[in-house]
Amino acid sequence: MHDTPTTLTLNKRVLFLSAQPGLVAAQIAGRQVTLQQALALRDDISTDEITPVPILTHYDDKLGRYPYTGFKTTDELPFTTDAVRN
């Protein structure tokens, strides 16, 4: 039987969908945060938050301009058009 790894090493940044709007904005601006800093994370995130229905009228490369634009933390929408790309 194989041992199950207990850690996961990632060589890229991880976007934590935090319940703290300031931490989400900081990550969008390029700041790297740890999981502990990002807690508490948002839960029950719908696909409509990740890709809002009106955005689905776009296709190809244009669709990549709008990920997470429906994501809300408290009463804020921290993701704007091209936020993830930039």
Give the separation between CA 43 and CA 34, rounded to whole angstroms: 17
Which pLDDT tens digit goes with each residue over 2-61?
Answer: 788 888 888 888 999 999 999 999 999 999 999 999 999 999 999 999 999 988 888 888
Query: End-to-end CA distance of the chain, in Å?
Result: 44
Q: Cβ(35)–Cβ(16) under 8 Å? A: yes
Phi first, then psi: give them for residue 68, nearest 5 degrees.
Answer: 65, 10
